[in-house]
A and B are shown apart, each in its own frame.
Chain A
Amino acid sequence: MDATSTLHLALPAVHTVVMGASAPVSQLVQPRAFATSVNPLVFFSILDHYLRRNAGQDRVIGTLLGVRSEDGSEVQIRSCYPVPHLETEDQVEVDMEYHRTMYELHRQVNSKEVIVGWYATGADLNQYSALIHDFYQKEVSAFPAVHLTMDTALTNERLGVKTYVAAPVGITSKENNCMFIPIPCDVKYFKAERAGLELLANARNTDSSSTTLLSDMDNLEQSIIQVQTMLERVSAYVDSVLAGTVPANNTVGRYLMNTVSVVPKVDPVEFEKMFNSHLQDLLMVVYLSNMTRTQLAVAKRLEKLI
């Protein structure tokens, strides 16, 4: 892949556009997207699409949906859907009608998410990438389209996820002439999704790669065990520093200081009061709710007698 050479050529374009948005270097008026964040769901969907590809097909593509920040400089890729396409030796065919229908359907559910670009599997950018990108560029009009690749063949033993925007190349811009410039890409998710991911992460360590839902209690136990191992690790490190086996690291020390000072100092009497009132509240609530349940159970039994 000759991405490294293109990279150097392309960078000035980004500079000009970003530093002075009015500079007419690029045909795009808006500043380029230079930061993207991806919802993990997008990865999951892409992988699922790849697993469901037609026999003999080695690359799948699809449309990315998401939201842009107001100035268009940050793109959050929130979801995606597959688009069927056909690649042969000398031509590429993308089912545009399908793409439009799906987009319309998505709009009905989530009107906030707009087309921000497209994805493809495989680590390479080939000559068709530029063509497809050109199409998506027209779809997103004023903003630069984002291209996301995912290396599903696991070359280098990773699922290298990369995002690009395209810059026109040459004196006269032709649709199949463009350079893909890598842009940074983060993974972001919301708090509620966090819990889901956590659970999925549990599944990967099992043989059957499946997991069951945990109860709140089990989950708490896991968290506590995690905290314990971390504390052990830290105290082992501190001990070893004190013993002089490991050289002291100022940065780590400062972090530790900060962490320790976060623990609030509460007056024991005050604490006792708070602790007891909370405990009483909770026990009372539990007691009442159990009473209610008993009432219900009694009613249930009585109903059977009628």
Chain B
Amino acid sequence: MPANKDQLSAALDIEGVVPIQSVQLDAMVVLKIVKHCRESIPATVTGQLMGLDVNGVLEVTHSFPMPKNQESEDFEGSTYQLQMMRCLREVNVDDNSVGWYQSTNMGNFMNQSLIEHQYEFQQALSKSVLIIHDVSRSSMGNLNLRALRLTPAFMKLYKENKFTTEALARAKLTFSNIFEELPITIRNSALLNALLYELETPDESVEISTSHLTTYKNTNNAQSTGSKTVLTPNYDMLDLSMDPFVAKNLEFLMETIDDHTQEQGNYAYWQRSVERENKKKAAYLLNRKTENARRAQAGQAPLPNEDVDSMFKLPAEPSRLDHLLISGQIDNYCKQINEFAGPTLGKLFAVGELQK
């Protein structure tokens, strides 16, 4: 089959010519990520994604969680990873690492360590992706997943580790293009579809064979919800309590703005000191000029030319990376508030109509 062959050659595109256009997650991966992230609230957790890229679509077919304290014991983390991947290979799982995922709360994921991690990933595997799962937003009734990659411009700057204003301006890098976001699709296998249909219809056969035992069933714990008909409609979205979310979001936003102000203070301080040094330098040069002019008049040889630049060292410009990230984070929060406000306004007016 020619179509198949095309696919095969695309899958074996080792040189990595085709850039990734979108990310396709297997249903199981979605659930695994959700489960892992939920279990470890409020800590942020990470995990590995495995899969293949086929013709610009990154298919993520498997994932596994990483142990929590991996920063402190770096060595153990990597052995864990290797062992896990070997084990998964044995059961025919795609053992090709394609990225990682991280949980987040209210979308506060823009920080140095995340950038560094993703940078390392993209450096090693050019087609790796970062999946961000926002637990607090997902629990409001709408699954919140984002697939992100660092942009080539950012990769280049990060490699040179030169985050000066000039370099940023030259690379046309602003907070909005640190990451590129890829569209996510979610795919079910045929058997999974069967399962989903099955979950929707109550299973009578099980009911019958176990009915005589159900009398002993004790009261279930409250933390789980669910019943025989699993896919009962979900109305979390209609929840009217908007205050906690907005308050929390604003709190975070304020914190970030404080950071931003501090960062701006740092920058202004740097600017002032640069200015001061420049002034000193200009004064010195002027001094030297008049001195030389006087000596020339007196018929003396001018003073030897010294390296002026080395005498007045300009302070190094602070890295603008923090500033960039903080701006990105602020932008993120604002967007989040806006995204949230739309449906909430709708809900408010709906309730208003209802009460009339």
Interface residues of A (CB under 8 A from B): 3, 7, 11, 14, 18, 34-35, 37, 39-41, 43-45, 47-54, 69, 73-74, 76, 78-79, 82, 84, 95, 98, 101-102, 105, 108-110, 152, 154, 156, 158-162, 182-201, 203-204, 208-217, 219-220, 222-224, 226-227, 230, 266, 268, 271, 275, 278-279, 281-282, 285-286, 289-290, 292-293, 296, 299-300, 303-306
Q: Which chain B residues numbered 200 to 228 have a C-beta less than 8 Å away from chain A?
A: 200, 203, 205-206, 209-210, 212-214, 216-218, 220-221, 223-228
Are A216's CB and B339's CB within 8 A?
Answer: yes
Q: Tell me the bound Cα distance from A54 to B92 in angstroms.
A: 8
**Chain A nearest CB: distance from B70 CB in Å?**
10
**Chain A nearest CB: distance from B66 CB in Å?**
7
Q: Answer whether A303 and B198 are a contact pair too, CB < 8 Å, given A110-B65, A189-B224, A271-B355.
A: no
Answer yes or no: B174 CB below 8 A from chain A CBs. Answer: yes
Answer yes or no: B293 CB below 8 A from chain A CBs. Answer: no
Q: Which chain B residues numbered 317 to 342 have a C-beta less than 8 Å away from chain A?
A: 327, 330-331, 333-335, 337-342
Partner of B186, one of A50, A186, A211: A211
Are A290's CB and B334's CB within 8 A?
Answer: yes
Are B334's CB and A289's CB within 8 A?
Answer: yes
15 more contacts with CB within 8 A, not counting A159-B191, A199-B143, A293-B334, are A35-B217, A44-B31, A47-B195, A53-B92, A162-B209, A191-B225, A208-B187, A210-B185, A212-B184, A266-B355, A278-B242, A286-B337, A289-B337, A289-B338, A292-B257
**Chain A nearest CB: distance from B87 CB in Å?**
6
Q: Which residues of B contact A35 (CB under 8 A)?
A: 216-218, 220
Are B210's CB and A182's CB within 8 A?
Answer: yes
Answer yes or no: B350 CB below 8 A from chain A CBs. Answer: yes
Q: Answer whether A285 and B175 are a contact pair too, CB < 8 Å, given A48-B28, A158-B205, A196-B34.
A: no
Q: Tell me the bound Cα distance from A12 to B138 in angstroms.
A: 46
Are A48's CB and B189's CB within 8 A?
Answer: yes
Interface residues of B (CB under 8 A from A): 24, 26-28, 30-32, 34-39, 61-62, 65-68, 80, 83-84, 87, 90-93, 135, 138-145, 165-166, 168-169, 172, 174-176, 183-200, 203, 205-206, 209-210, 212-214, 216-218, 220-221, 223-228, 230-231, 233-238, 242, 246, 250, 253, 257, 327, 330-331, 333-335, 337-348, 350-352, 355
Are A39's CB and B35's CB within 8 A?
Answer: yes
Q: Which residues of B contact A47 (CB under 8 A)?
A: 28, 189, 191-192, 195
A interface: dominant SS:
helix
Q: Tell me the bound Cα distance from A190 to B34 in angstroms.
A: 10
**Chain B nearest CB: distance from A279 CB in Å?**
6
For B143, B168, B231, B257, the residue with the greatest tally of chain A CB atoms inside 10 Å of its CB is B143
**Chain B nearest CB: distance from A214 CB in Å?**
6
Are A41's CB and B28's CB within 8 A?
Answer: yes
Are A204's CB and B189's CB within 8 A?
Answer: no
Chosen A-B contacts, 22 in total, with CB atoms closer than 8 Å, are A40-B31, A41-B31, A44-B31, A48-B62, A49-B91, A50-B191, A105-B87, A108-B80, A161-B198, A184-B217, A188-B220, A190-B223, A198-B141, A200-B30, A214-B142, A216-B342, A220-B346, A220-B347, A275-B348, A275-B351, A279-B345, A279-B348
**Chain A nearest CB: distance from B355 CB in Å?**
5
Q: Which residues of A contact B185 (CB under 8 A)?
A: 210-212
**Chain B nearest CB: distance from A300 CB in Å?**
5
Q: Which residues of B contact A18 (CB under 8 A)?
A: 216
Q: What residue in chain B is nearest A107 (Cβ atoms)?
A: B67
Q: Answer whether A187 and B199 are a contact pair too, CB < 8 Å, given A211-B185, A216-B142, A282-B341.
A: yes
Q: Which residues of B contact A182 (CB under 8 A)?
A: 206, 209-210, 213
Q: Tell me the bound Cα distance from A46 to B223 in angstroms.
A: 24
Are A187's CB and B230's CB within 8 A?
Answer: yes
**Chain B nearest CB: distance from A137 CB in Å?**
20
Partner of B214, one of A158, A184, A192: A184
Q: Which residues of A contact B344 (CB under 8 A)?
A: 282
Are A74's CB and B67's CB within 8 A?
Answer: no
**Chain B nearest CB: distance from A239 CB in Å?**
21
